[in-house]
A and B are shown apart, each in its own frame.
Chain A
Amino acid sequence: MINLTAVYVLWLREMKRYFRAKSRILGSLAIPFFFLAFLGLGFNRMAVPGVAGSLNYIRYLVPGIVGMSLLFQSVFAGLSVLWDREFGFLKEIMVAPVSRVSIVLGRIAGGMTTALVQGLLVLAVSFLVGFRIASVPGILLALLFMVLVSTSFIGLGLIFASRIKDMQGYSIIMNFVVFPLFSCPGPSTRSATSLPGSGSFRTSTR
């Protein structure tokens, strides 16, 4: 049922495309970087309600920004299905004699890897503004959560992308799903800051 070669080749294609599009990598790093630089350094001195006084704001912010870039990268994985439809390549995939499950898994694997790479790049950038990792088990656990977050949002993206045929419609609907998620300070930063490894296990309880 699951054709591993097909999963692998779809994943490989995504990797080649990702690492060839340098502008895409740099471009998608720009927004997290500005968030970190402006919000992070700007609010660094401020006491955030619900955050323990001892907690550095950068430490509070970075996991959220990582989560945000995972989210956007995952939405992008759904969008790439629509791009493939637009450029005809989707047909090439759909006529291949492999199970549809393998195709979805290949997409998820590819999207998840790029999201993970992106998340790690953001993490690397955050070192520039003074973020530090608390512990090794913590970062491993964080990686696990990054995998889970990106996988579930790619899944969601793929569901929408297989139903919605036009890109604008997809973007609007995904914005509708994603934007509240990342802008509501309560639930989103709570889930994002619960990413261990940042040292901020305690979050706002209100």
Chain B
Amino acid sequence: MDDIKVERLTKKFDEITAVDHISFTVGSGELFGLLGPNGAGKTTTLNMLSTLLRPTSGLAEVSGFDVTRNRDEVRRSIGIVFQEPALDSQLTGRENLEFHSMMYGMGREERRKKIAEVLALVELTEKAGVQVQNYSGGMKRRLEIARGLIHRPRVLFLDEPTLGLDAQTRRHIWDYIRKLNREQGVTIILTTHYMEEADYLCRRVAIMDHGGFAAIDTPEKLKELLGGDVVSLEVDGDLGALEAEFRSLDWVKKAKLHEETFSLTMERGDRRIPELVSVAQRAGVTVNSVNLRRPSLEDVFLHFTGKTIRESEASQAERNRAMMMAHRQRRGR
């Protein structure tokens, strides 16, 4: 059973196409990631799935309900943690949770029980009576995640759940998210532009760039597409001969020489290192250092979009600026 079904979903703002004919499904109990730079269309996609935005065209269903025709049913079955904080800072943590659970029509007894439960989950029980304006960034984030869970949603959307948090809090939140998915069976869709986050958490990842999907698969499969591990050898001696030697090995997929360092792409690099060293020794070359790197999603992103995620963000910012200038000129006329 699929909890999310999206077909050719599109959102246009004036001439700008924020989301461009994307299609995907997310199974029940799956942890699915939308990975991409800022401005790729991740948040717009979530906003359409959570009924905050109407799609321009295409179909989207959340737990079997259409997001444009059955908005109330969709709203009832989802929880969402927004990218920007969405708490009332003049209310206490508990009051924010009370507000939420009453909006979702929970009874007094159930409310009391669930609020205590989620507060314990995010370790905010002691701070529940404090006004949210006195919370730290991490505490606010945790409170929001707690709020997203009170009404036991089938599907939970997390929009950049760890954006701007310190490493320790991020780890904490990752563990909550995993626990939630495993123990409670909540279907989770999260967006992120942190590679390691998608890698660590998601069972499947869609790589998003300029409103469309560049690739969609498990992180492992995506990484395999790159041809395996990269072994770097820093050497001294007759480099030309060694390069020819490396190229003749059929399990070396790619061999590149940059100054005195060879970068070799191969599968199971860890098992091939001894062999590589002995090949080098036979060719009379000294190996000074060996480095094995497993491809990260960062490499995958680079592979599919031809840019690193940071470059892509920079060009997006440029695009936005150009768009704004054009807009101003048009208005000026």
How many B residues, CB 8 Å from partner? Answer: 27
CB distance from B140 to the nearest CB of A (A): 11
Contact with A along B98-131 (1 / 0, CB 8 A): 1110111100000000000000000000000000
Interface flags, A6-48, vs B, CB<8A=1, else 0: 1011001100110011000000000000000000000000000
Whether the Cβ atoms of A92 and B78 lie closer than 8 Å is no
Name the CB-closest residue of B to A84: B88
Out of B52, B78, B90, which one reaches A91, CB within 8 Å? B52
- CB neighbours of B86 from chain A (8 A): 87-89, 91-92
A9-B98, A87-B85 known; 9 new pairs, CB 8 Å cut-off, are A9-B102, A13-B95, A87-B89, A88-B82, A92-B82, A92-B147, A95-B75, A96-B75, A97-B104
* Chain A residues whose CB sits within 8 angstroms of the CB of B316 once the complex forms: none
Q: Hey, which chain A residues are within 8 Å of B91, CB to CB?
A: 13, 16-17
B105 neighbours in A (Cβ, 8 Å): 3, 5, 97
Q: Check: B72 CB closer than 8 A to any chain A CB.
A: yes
* Chain B residues within an 8 Å CB radius of A89: 86-88
B76 proximal to A (CB < 8 A): yes
| B161 CB to nearest A CB, Å | 15
Contact (A5, B102) CB under 8 Å given A13-B91, A95-B50:
yes
Q: Which of B115-168 contact A (CB under 8 A)?
A: 147
Q: Could you give 19 example pairs across A and B, Cβ below 8 Å? A: A6-B103, A8-B102, A9-B102, A21-B90, A87-B85, A87-B86, A87-B89, A88-B84, A88-B85, A88-B87, A91-B82, A91-B86, A95-B50, A96-B75, A96-B100, A97-B72, A97-B75, A97-B105, A99-B72
Complex Cα–Cα for A15 and B34 (A): 40
Q: Which of B80, B87, B89 contacts A95 (CB 8 A)?
A: B80
* CA gap between A99 and B103 in the complex, in Å: 11
Q: Which of A3, A17, A89 has the most CB of B within 10 A?
A: A89
Nearest-CB distance from A27 to chain B (Å)? 16
> Min CB distance, A81 to chain B, in Å?
13
Interface residues of B (CB under 8 A from A): 50-52, 72-73, 75-76, 78, 80, 82, 84-91, 95, 98-100, 102-105, 147
Q: A13-B88, A87-B89 are in contact. Are A96 and B103 (CB under 8 A)?
A: yes
Q: How distant is the Cα of A5 from the Cα of B111 in the complex, in angstroms?
A: 13
Q: Is the CB of A97 within 8 A of B90?
A: no
Residues of the A chain whose Cβ atoms lie less than 8 Å from the Cβ of B51 = 95
A148 at the interface (CB under 8 A from B): no
Q: Which of B51, B73, B98, B105 has the most CB of A within 10 A?
A: B105
Separation of A6 and B99 alpha carbons in the complex (Å): 9
In the bound complex, what is the Cα–Cα distance between A89 and B147 (angstroms)?
13
The listed residue with most B CB atoms (<10 A of its CB), out of A9, A20, A92, is A92
Provide the bound-state CA to CA distance between A94 and B103, in Å: 10
* Contact of A13 with B99 in the complex, beta carbons under 8 Å: yes
The answer to the question of A98 belonging to the interface, with a C-beta cut-off of 8 Å to chain B, is yes
For residue A12, which residues in chain B have a CB less than 8 angstroms away from its CB? Answer: 99
Contacts of A96 in B (CB 8 A): 75, 100, 103-104
How does the 8 Å CB contact mask read for A160-188 relative to B, with 1 for contact and 0 for none? 00000000000000000000000000000
Closest 7 CB pairs of A and B: A88-B86, A97-B75, A96-B103, A9-B102, A97-B76, A92-B86, A88-B84
Contact A9 B103 (CB under 8 A): yes
Q: How far is the CA of A92 from the CA of B52 in the complex (A)?
A: 10
CA gap between A6 and B104 in the complex, in Å: 8
Residues of chain B within 8 A (CB-CB) of A6 are 102-103
Across the interface, name the chain A residue whose C-beta is closest to B77. Answer: A97
Q: Provided the pairs A91-B52, A91-B82, A95-B80 are in contact, do residues A17 and B104 lie with their beta carbons within 8 angstroms?
A: no
Chain A's closest residue to B151 (CB) is A97
Give CA–CA (A8, B147) in the complex, Å. 19
Interface string of A69-99 (1 = CB under 8 A from B): 0000000000000000001110111111111
A131 and B84 CA atoms in complex are apart in Å by: 49
**Alpha-carbon distance A5/B107, docked complex (angstroms):** 10
> Which of A16, A20, A94, A97 makes the CB contact (< 8 A) with B52?
A94
Question: Using a CB-CB cutoff of 8 Å, which residues 82-132 of chain A contact chain B?
Answer: 87-89, 91-99
Instruction: Point out the residues of chain B lying under 8 angstroms from A88, CB to CB.
Output: 82, 84-87
The distance in angstroms between the C-alpha atoms of A88 and B84, with both chains bound, is: 7
**Residues in A neighbouring B85, C-beta threshold 8 A:** 87-88
Q: Closest CB of chain B to A32's CB: distance in Å?
A: 24
